[in-house]
Chain A
Amino acid sequence: MNDQLELEFEHVTKSFTGDRVVVNNLSFSVKKGEFFSFLGPSGCGKTTCLRMISGLERPSQGLIKMSGKVVNDIHPHKRNVHTVFQKYALFPHLNVFENVAFGLKMKKRPPAEVKERVERMLRMVSLQDYTRRSIQQLSGGEQQRVALVRALVNEPAILLLDEPLAALDLKLREQMHRELSSLQKQLGTTFIFVTHDQGEALTLSDRVAIMNAGNIEQIGTPTEVYEQPASTFVARFVGTTNVFSGPASHATIGGGGSGVAVATDGFGTLFAKQDEAKPRPATGDNVGLVVRPEKIRIRVTAPAGSGHGGLGTQSSTSSAPAPASAVTPANGASAATAVPTDAPIPSGHTVNVLRGTLIERIYFGPTTQIKLQISDRLPPIIALVANQTATKMPSLKMGDRYYAVWDAADSILVSSSQPTASQST
């Protein structure tokens, strides 16, 4: 089973001078042929991880294994790992052909083979007519492609990509996404990708590791990290999110199954369905309750029925005293998968209802993002409305009061404190 693993980290820690721990006791593994991404804010340790894989940094503690062999002490030039650097790091004194041929020449391949392989790779990225050009004559996108094939022509076991698309404009970036995906499938090479762009990580990867301050907060498929974030950090970093927190208690919710009631500060008690696969939080535990903007429905009138959470059915909402930390919607770029729903909530399901004033409306084209101010002291609730729905509700006006309604089953329970130990797959 182990020969399926391309790369393993075992309790890897990296600290630089001054005891600054950049990577803290990481353990995880990457399968052969996988497209694996490190996603996190700048300074979270993702680039350091990459540099340890390429051999440019040595771990302070722990083991790094490739195909089962420990590689801690192997010099970068002896590893079958090549990197596409953030700023490309193309050699300015060599032309396009010589740049791409560099690795093969270092391996002392015969000139005929070098020529054949370099030209084949350049053809693959439509740069076959550029062989004699100097690097300075290329556009950003062309340089990016040269950097990519300069690494790939050596047929590495692992290709490392350090935010290689950060310098490109949106359109070029989307084109490179498609090229990267098809190249990876075509070659079957293990890709390890570092990015701070969550949309990029979700679109490209088989699995994503979300990093924060030297730790891995969660490893999972794009769907898992979006739909079932392990912590409030992950929920905030991946997509736009409403995050509530407070002590948990047991509750029965409509629609079957057991639930959890979270007594939030300022938003009343909100309900979530308990995922049977996950450990149930003990009563009084501080938990986070996450709801994605596209799961929230906007209503003009209060929904009928019983078993409501939230404040919407109460007459007074502005009197609720609350620290501002009770809800902190994170505002990242919305994930590509986020399509709002307006299907009716199945009858009998427990719903959460909040009522607030429409204070912001941002038109995205297919969707509109709106913000409802529940109380002056609390951050607003973010909801995403499909514009098909919006046209059905021409009365959606700034300053009017609306109900934000969501199914308790769409609330995601996460640990509110950030985990200190790393998780492994």
Chain B
Amino acid sequence: MFKRRPVLVAYAGFLLFFLYFPLLVLSISSFRGGPTFYHWYRRAFSDPQLLLALRNSIAIGLGTTVFSTLLGTLAALGMRKEQFWGRVFFESLLNLPLVLPEIVMGLAMLVWFVFLNITLGLFSVVLAHTTFTVSYVTLIILARLKGMDPLLEEAAADLGATPWRTFSRVTLPLLLPAVVSGALLAFTLSFDDFLITFFTAGVGSDTLPLRIYSMMRFGVTPEMNAISSAMLFLTLGAVLTVFRLRKD
């Protein structure tokens, strides 16, 4: 098949090269040029400002994950019922953050936090991140719920399970792969986010992307290659796990 389509193969090769070669260069150069292959990683992870930014990013990521997974699961469970008043409205609302320009979200959040007198810091970033990650979580769980046989829950009730035990013993375990992949996705989205964080972080709560951006003003250093590569590996790992879980 490939033999007969040389143009197609060349086109695909060029596209893949264009997209992924920079990533390859980045990760290779992060291992090179020092006395040991992990030299730049060691340097990067001993920079106190970078370490603080990493800690902030992880804290925000975890907070966002907890909030959006909790809210997203509840939203999906509420939305699975056949029909209710305003269903179309809520569904559109859910899809909105996926298509809305981030800069609009970020600015709107900033204005809102200032209006409500919420101090800009880690907590405000968590709130802002939750507003858009919750959409992803809800959609993932909703898809799983729609594919679930409603007969299983009826069978549980039929066998004497109360509504709560039906949920905890049947619905939730069956939903778990979707909940976990939703949570991983929420963490990744939050960890990578720049724009919304930029607007809502305030002073002194730099995240990793923000820190890398401000370091860039003095030129690209090998430490930045190392920290970016680390982020790349983390994200790849999370995405691969999500795919594995969704396949089941």
Contacts and interface: CB of A to CB of B under 8 A. Distances in A.
Contacts of A56: 154, 157-158
Given A78-B160, A91-B156, A106-B165, 11 more contacts: A56-B157, A77-B159, A83-B158, A85-B155, A87-B151, A90-B155, A93-B170, A102-B169, A106-B160, A106-B162, A107-B160
Contacts of A282: none
A154 B157 contact: no
Given A91-B170, A93-B173, A154 B159 contact: yes
Contacts of A102: 156, 159, 161, 169
Pairs A-B, 8 closest by C-beta atoms: A103-B159, A89-B155, A106-B160, A89-B151, A76-B157, A93-B173, A106-B161, A83-B158
Interface of B: 149, 151-152, 154-163, 165-166, 169-170, 173-174
A110 interface: no
Contacts of B161: 77, 102, 106
B158 A82 contact: yes
Nearest to A80: B160
Contact of B149 (A81, A89, A150): A89
A89 B174 contact: no
A366 interface: no
A135 to B, nearest CB: 11
B145 to A, nearest CB: 15
Given A56-B154, A83-B155, A92 B174 contact: yes
In this complex, which of B149, B155, B161, B166 has the most chain A Cβ atoms within 10 angstroms of its Cβ? B155
A227 to B, nearest CB: 36
A153 to B, nearest CB: 10
B147 to A, nearest CB: 12
A154 B161 CA distance: 12
B154 A103 contact: no
Contacts of A55: 157-158
Interface string A154-167: 10000000000000
Nearest to B155: A89
Interface residues of A, number: 24
A229 to B, nearest CB: 34
Contacts of A408: none
A106 B159 contact: yes
A56 B123 CA distance: 45
B211 to A, nearest CB: 42
Contacts of B166: 77
Nearest to A147: B155
19 contacts: A56-B154, A76-B154, A76-B157, A77-B158, A77-B159, A77-B160, A77-B162, A77-B163, A77-B166, A78-B160, A81-B158, A82-B159, A83-B158, A89-B151, A91-B152, A102-B161, A103-B160, A107-B160, A154-B159
Contacts of A185: none
Contacts of A90: 155
Contacts of B152: 89, 91-92
A54 B154 CA distance: 10
Nearest to B153: A89
